[in-house]
């Protein structure tokens, strides 16, 4: 197995922070050219600074993955700049806000599905248009342990959206396997990232940790290491799978 990503171009949506940023650093360290696609412009600039020592021409492209025109522009820009796209991490997404089911508004439901499902669909569709002729490529979709737990009382909408991501992953993996493209998903449990600062009440992560057999939340680097492995040539027969990486929380 090798984790040599020289001459590989990777697009990471939601790559300005958290798991996406950790993945960007690890891929860049392996020789990849990294494109950060995010709506956090300050975070995107900081991400490029963090990758500066890798001696590669990395890019930040402001991209709202729920907007078809912006996703189309992203795919065209990256392909015209580098000539190929080898890796896509669909990392953008959020629960929008936490709420009990009966307090979940239609706007929250639809925005959540737009960020997590529509965005994954649009980015995958546009990048696959370049991967298929090249007969190679890897797509990693970010699902969540919420897809298995259902997130009752706090974000059923998020669990439902991430469940859709797991089904979507199986579908496109089977459709494009003949084209030399592998598609898998990760379903992390509790991860110590700004996600919880932005979307969880105080003490939420600490309470979750009590139910994890390993006894702690994951670090972004631990999740990123698995993503990098899935992008490498170390698992050429693995496609269509959603891998739970949750410290035993949902086993």
pLDDT, one tens digit for every residue, the chain (251 residues): 346 899 999 999 999 999 999 999 999 999 999 999 999 999 999 999 999 887 789 999 999 999 999 999 999 999 999 999 999 999 999 999 999 999 999 999 999 999 999 999 999 999 999 999 999 999 999 999 999 999 899 899 999 999 999 999 999 999 999 999 999 999 998 888 766 666 666 666 677 777 888 888 889 999 999 999 999 999 999 999 999 998 887 65
148 counts as catalytic = no
Architecture category of domain 9-245 in CATH: 3-Layer(aba) Sandwich (3.40)
Delimit the domains of the chain by residue range: 9-245
Residue 4: φ, ψ to 5°? -85, 110
Task: Write down the catalytic residue from 60, 158, 199, 237.
Answer: 158
Q: What pLDDT does residue 192 have?
A: 84
Report d(CA 237, CA 88) in Å as an integer.
Answer: 18
The three-class DSSP label of residue 14 is: coil
Distances (CA, A) of 25 to 4, 84, 142, 239: 14, 20, 17, 24
Report d(CA 64, CA 74) in Å as an integer.
Answer: 10
């Amino acid at each position: 197995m090798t984790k040599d990503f020289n001459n590989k171009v990777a697009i990471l949506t939601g790559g300005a922070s958290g798991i996406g940023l950790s993945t960007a650093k690890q891929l860049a360290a392996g020789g990849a050219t990294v494109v950060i696609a995010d709506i956090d412009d300050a975070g995107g600039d900081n991400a490029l600074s963090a990758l500066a020592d890798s001696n590669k021409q990395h890019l930040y492209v402001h991209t709202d993955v729920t907007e078809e025109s912006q996703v189309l522009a992203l795919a065209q820009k990256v392909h015209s700049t580098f000539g190929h796209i080898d890796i896509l991490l669909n990392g953008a997404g959020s629960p929008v806000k936490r709420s009990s089911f009966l307090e979940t508004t239609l706007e929250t439901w639809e925005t959540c599905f737009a960020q997590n499902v529509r965005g994954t669909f649009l980015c995958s569709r546009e990048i696959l248009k370049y991967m298929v002729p090249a007969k190679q490529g890897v797509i990693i979709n970010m699902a969540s342990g919420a897809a298995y737990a259902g997130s009752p009382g706090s974000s059923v909408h998020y669990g439902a959206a991430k469940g859709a991501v797991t089904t979507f992953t199986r579908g496109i993996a089977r459709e494009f396997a003949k084209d030399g493209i592998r598609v898998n998903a990760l379903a992390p449990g509790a991860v110590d990232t700004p996600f919880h600062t932005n979307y969880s009440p105080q003490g939420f992560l600490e309470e979750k940790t009590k139910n994890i057999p390993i006894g702690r939340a994951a670090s972004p680097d631990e999740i990123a290491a698995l993503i990098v492995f899935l992008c490498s040539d170390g698992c050429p027969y693995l496609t269509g799978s959603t891998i739970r990486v949750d410290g035993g929380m949902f086993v």
